[in-house]
Amino acid sequence: MQKRKLGKSNLEVSAIGLGCMGMSTAYGPPADQQKMIGLIRQAVESGITFFDTAELYGPFTNEELVGEALAPFGGQVAIATKFGIKLGPGGQQLVDGRPERIKQCVEGSLKRLRVAAIDLYYQHRVDPNVPIEDVAGAVQDLIREGKVKHFGLSEAGVRTIRRAHAVQPVTAVQSEYSLWWRRPEEEVLPVLEELGIGFVPFSPLGKGFLTGTINENTKFDSSDFRQIVPRFTPDARKANQALVDLLRKIAERKKATPAQVALAWLLAQQPWIVPIPGTTKRTRLEENIGAVAVELTPGDLREIDSAASRITIQGARYPEELEKRAGL
C-alpha cells in the first residue's frame, strides 16, 4: 500500500483509508459487529492505516467498534474521529462547538477508541454561534495536553479554514468530493494547497452510486439515508447513469472496475488527497484497495474531465436542511 502525507503535517497514512460510518448507521440496519471487527482488521492486514469514525455515528457505537477492532494495532494505525454534533429531542442533530463541550467530548472518544491520544480530531460541522478561533484554541489545548495529535475540519468553507489555521495549524479538511460532487475544486482545494493542508474526501464513490451497482430500480432499506437524498430519487439515478457509463468505459480499458477508476481519479488529483471509501463487505474492501494500482495517464484524465463536463448531474446531494450546515 502506498503512503501519503496529509499536507505539510507529519501525519502519514495509507493512500486510501476506510470510512467506518456505514458499519453502524446511515445505510440501513447496523452490520454484525463481529464481522465488522474482522473487516477492519483485514483492512489493517491489507495495508490500510487510516480509519475514520465520529462520536455521532451510532451515536457512540461506531467509535466503540473501531476502538475494539484496532486495539491490537496500537501505534500502527491513525484514527480520525469528530466532535461538534449532538443529538437533541427526537434525534435531531444539533451543532455544538463550544470549547467546554469539545473538552468533554474528547474524554468519551478517548475511552471508546481505547487510545491515549486521537490522531486526527475534526470539527464535524462548523458551529455558526461559536467563533472558529475558540474551537481551534480548544483543540490546541488538547494537543498541548497530549490528548489530540492533529486538528481537522469537516465541510468547512475557505474563510473558516483560514481563520482556524491561523490559530492552530489544520492538518486535514474532510468534505465530500468525487466525480459527481466537484465543488471543492472551486475554492477549497486551491486554499488547501496554498496552506499545506491535506484533503480527505468522504463519499468518494458517491454513496455507492459510482460503483455501478445501483440503478433506478434499486430498493433501499427504510433506514437508509439515501431514501431522503434528492440525488437518489429513481429519476435522478436514471439520469446519472451516464457518469457510471463513463467510468465503466475507462474501467474496461484499464481492466479495473468503475469504483477503482473513480478512486484512482481522486488519487490523481493531488498527492495530499486521501479518500476514505466505506464498506461492510470484504470483496468491496479488496476492490477499493486495488484502486491504488490503477494508473490513469494525463490523457485518461483529460478524457474523463472532458466527458464528465458534458454530463449534468441531477439532484441535490443533501436535503436542504442538511446542505445549509455545509461549507460555512
For the chain, helix (H) and strand (E) counts, in that order, are 11, 11
In sequence order, the β-bridge partners of residue 151 are 121, 170
Which residue of the set 27, 57, 121, 122 is catalytic?
A: 57
Contacts with 95 (C-beta within 8 Å, 6 or more apart), sequence order? 84, 85, 124, 125, 126, 127, 128, 325
CB 24 within 8 A of CB 69: no
The DSSP annotation for 173-229 comes to: EEEE-BTTB-GGGTTHHHHHHHHT-EEEEESTTTTTGGGT---TT----TTBGGGG-
The answer to whether residue 57 is catalytic is yes
Strand extents, DSSP E, 259-323: none
Set of cell numbers at residue 34: 463481529
What amino acid positions are annotated as catalytic residues?
A: 57
